[in-house]
Amino acid sequence: SKLSELCRRISAAGFPASLDGADVSIAAVNTLEDAVEGELSFLSNRKYLRLLETTRASAVIAAPDVAVPDGRSVVRCADPYAAVTVAIVLLHGHRRHPRWGVSSRAEIHPSASIGPNANIAPHVTVGEGAVIGADCTLYPGVYVGDRARLGDGVVLFPNVVVYDECVLGHRVTIHAGTVIGEDGLGYAPVGGKWLKIPQVGRVVIEDDVEIGANCAIDRATLGMTRIGAGSKFSNLIAIGHGTKVGENAMFVALVGVAGSVTVGKNVTLAGQVGLAGHLTVGDGASIGAQAGVAGDVPAGAKYLGAPAVEINEAKRQFIAVQRLPGWSKEVNQRLRDLEAELARLRAKINGDQE
């Protein structure tokens, strides 16, 4: 594909782009480190400016104010990350799934409803009264429980489990090994033992959600655990029972959310964030990596640390901790000076008394 055509298509997608340099042919997209002649790369993070000097890419996507070495073609776009996303789709396309039709080696209950153009692999199990929407793809080892419902265009990768009664909206993608709707940690302390509380709720995952590998989303004790439309989860994330996550959340790997938490819209939780139970995180909040959150977070707030505090306060605390060794030396020296001065004064007083 010619670079000028890529520019036109990127602009048509809503990200105005212009060509600076030769209209070279592009066959693929690659990283700055690994790209070769005939490939397109991009710079969206200025930490990697140095790589523009050494990349072998025939062209790069960069912001208008980024200096690119002479002789290299540049696609200028204010949002290089969005632009390269369009280019990847154009040059590489989306993932292509194997085609099984509805395999005769899948275990599908006679009462289950299978939508048109379903793509169900061998060794899939679909339970009694389950509903599989149109254009769904279920990889080997998938289990869809009794009366569970999948919308249209759902993709479940190998060994995904969707327990009974759970609901997945349209165009939901769930990666390998994730479990939807297992029992939450619901036990009552009775006589020094734990009494199991039946978990009779369900999980509802709304449209256009993507969930990474080996996540676990607990069913509610009563009612529902809900993941809002457009939310994106990385791998190894645990969501407790009865938690409500708003639309367009971004949860990075190893996030743990306890039960009965309310997370607003457009919230970002960075890697290894932990949220205690029964708290609220407001719309648009952002919580930094490894933060431990024990109380409510206001809308739009940025928190960091363990225990988590407002991000500027967290930075002050971090700086103070880093300065402690120097302060300790200074305090110890002052203490020695004071002790010496005290000894001198005592000696003087004793001398005067004699």
Q: Which CATH number does the domain housing residue 166 bear?
A: 2.160.10.10
Within a domain: residue 239? yes
pLDDT of 315: 86
Contact predicate 170/206, CB 8 Å: no
More confident: 114 or 315: 114
Position 352 pLDDT exceeds 80? no
Please identify, among 67, 92, 117, the residue that sits at the C-terminal boundary of a domain: 92
Within a domain: residue 101? no
Q: How far apart are CA 32 and CA 48, in angstroms?
A: 9
Whether the full predicted model's pTM is greater than 0.85, yes or no, is yes
Whether residue 174 is found in the same domain as residue 208: yes
pLDDT of 184: 94
Whether residue 72 is found in the same domain as residue 178: no
Contact predicate 198/179, CB 8 Å: no
Whether residue 145 is found in the same domain as residue 204: yes
Whether residue 72 is found in the same domain as residue 136: no
Within a domain: residue 203? yes
Whether residue 24 is found in the same domain as residue 170: no
**Banded model confidence at residue 348, pLDDT cuts 50, 70, 90:** confident
Which of 92, 94, 175, 241 is the catalytic position? 241
Within a domain: residue 100? no
Within a domain: residue 338? yes
Please identify, among 31, 61, 92, the residue that sits at the C-terminal boundary of a domain: 92
Task: Work out the mean pLDDT of the chain and round it to a whole number.
Answer: 96
Please identify, among 58, 92, 126, the residue that sits at the C-terminal boundary of a domain: 92
More confident: 167 or 309: 167
Within a domain: residue 171? yes
Within a domain: residue 97? no
Q: Give residue-wise pLDDT tens across range 33-57.
A: 999 999 999 999 999 999 999 999 9
Whether residue 184 is found in the same domain as residue 113: yes
Q: Is 170 a catalytic residue?
A: no
Within a domain: residue 86? yes
pLDDT of 254: 98
Domain count within the chain: 3
**Banded model confidence at residue 177, pLDDT cuts 50, 70, 90:** very high
More confident: 28 or 313: 28
pLDDT of 325: 83
Q: Give residue-wise pLDDT tens across range 53-75.
A: 999 999 999 999 999 998 899 99
Can you give the CATH number for the domain in which 62 is found?
A: 3.40.1390.10
**Banded model confidence at residue 309, pLDDT cuts 50, 70, 90:** confident
pLDDT of 319: 86
Whether residue 116 is found in the same domain as residue 253: yes
Position 354 pLDDT exceeds 70? no
Whether residue 141 is found in the same domain as residue 285: yes
More confident: 82 or 324: 82
Whether residue 58 is found in the same domain as residue 115: no
Whether residue 306 is found in the same domain as residue 324: no
The domain containing residue 161 runs over which residues? 107-310
Average pLDDT rounded to a whole number, residues 179-189 = 97
Of 77-86, 244-253, 257-266, 329-338, give the lowest mean pLDDT range: 329-338
Position 154 pLDDT exceeds 90? yes
Position 193 pLDDT exceeds 90? yes
Position 230 pLDDT exceeds 70? yes
Whether residue 265 is found in the same domain as residue 351: no
Average pLDDT rounded to a whole number, residues 135-143 = 99
Whether residue 25 is found in the same domain as residue 130: no
